Amino acid sequence: MSSRSAIVVGAGIVGLATARALAKNGFKVSVFERTERAVGASIRNFGLILPFAQPDGPMYERAIRTRSVWKEISETGAFPHLPVGSMFVAYQPLEWTILQELYEIYGQSRNLKLLNPQEVCQYSQAIIPERLLGGLYSPDEMIVDPREAIASLPKFLESVHKIRFYWGRPVQSVSTHKLVSNGEEFQADLIFVCSGADFESLYPGIYGNSSIIKCKLQMMRTAIQPDNWRIGPALCGGLSLIHYKSFTSAPSIGLLKDFYEQTMKPYMDWGIHVMVTQNPAGELTIGDSHEYGNTFDPFQKSSINNLVLDYLNRFAVFRQPGITQTWSGIYSKMTDGSTEICLSPEPGVYILNALGGAGMSLSFGLAEEVLLSL
């Protein structure tokens, strides 16, 4: 086994996936995290691993590989997972047209099911049947509770892969073979910067000249649904059809965007698409909005949450709908069409970042690919 060493900066999902890939490639790995536990975008999401959102080819394969790693780790007992799939529902004729077009494009290769209203309601008792035109079910998706999973992954990596974690250790500088944290120097053959905040502070010039933009989202959670009541698959309304890259292949997607611009402008203005997932404990996670920029108002807008809930109430109803938590998250994405940023600012140092909110769906596969390319 190699005696090479590696350091990963950041214990979010990108950093954890990178640490795992390094360890499986024979590296002795240490992870430095500026906070005492991961509290960023990696725990502020739906917990949905969503291959269906990725176009055919390398991105879909990356998502499928990531899902298999989540499943593999979950089955060790590290955290539970729910292989429930996802379902997109249509209440407008154009939405139904898009679902039919997506079925024609992806149906056979991805084992999709195009469902009539009665069949949709058989998959989920949360769906409102009135005015429902149909649905499209994908079996690929799985759900974890991101808060539980991201907290449990370091323990798994410590136990199985002997990865060492340094919590509450901000990094002051990085250079070839050397990292400084709290005035202490650490040596490594390779260093990976996987935290957006650390990328921004350690390499401000490179960050400033990149095509990165930040996205602020707003999300909500309900209490545990009573009597073990489950909603079934992740549920997505029509607005989600214009949000994901794989759906741009539908010929009528432009018509649907125009329809929403004319009839749902506040939703378009705030980048709102509405979906709901249920974690293994039974809580529902609901969202979300997308506000782009570099500096954000730290306060949530109740008007955005109200828009999300109003739209959700058009297609789903729950046993316990009351909101118990609300929060904001911030992630980074590329504006030049790239799916992530992966670069080496100096020998032996790599920056891996800006997965565009798809870190849960892509990180494990991406990290393996990056290691193979070095």
Chain segment 42-58, per-residue pLDDT in tens: 999 999 999 999 999 99
Tokens 């698409």 found at: 273
Chain segment 225-279, per-residue pLDDT in tens: 999 999 999 999 999 999 998 999 999 999 999 999 999 999 999 999 999 999 9
Chain segment 289-340, per-residue pLDDT in tens: 999 999 999 999 999 999 999 999 999 999 999 999 999 999 999 999 999 9
Grouping H, G, I as helix, E, B as strand and the rest as coil, residue 349 is strand
Measured CA distances, 135 to 114, 148, 234, 299 (Å): 6, 30, 12, 35
Chain segment 60-72, per-residue pLDDT in tens: 999 999 999 999 9
Which CATH number is 86-139+212-334's, of 3.40.630.30, 3.30.9.10, 3.40.190.10, 3.30.70.20? Answer: 3.30.9.10
Per-residue model confidence (pLDDT) at position 1: 40
Per-residue model confidence (pLDDT) at position 177: 97
This prediction's pTM: 0.96
DSSP 170: -
Grouping H, G, I as helix, E, B as strand and the rest as coil, residue 148 is helix
Chain segment 10-45, per-residue pLDDT in tens: 999 999 999 999 999 999 999 999 999 999 999 999
Say whether 86-139+212-334 and 5-46+147-211+338-373 share the same fold.
Answer: no
What are the structural domain ranges in the chain? Answer: 5-46+147-211+338-373, 86-139+212-334
Q: Note whether 186 and 178 are within 8 A (CB).
A: yes
Q: How far apart are CA 117 and CA 130, in angstroms?
A: 9
Which CATH number is 5-46+147-211+338-373's, of 1.10.10.10, 3.40.50.1370, 3.10.20.340, 3.50.50.60? Answer: 3.50.50.60
Q: How far apart are CA 215 and CA 334, in angstroms?
A: 10
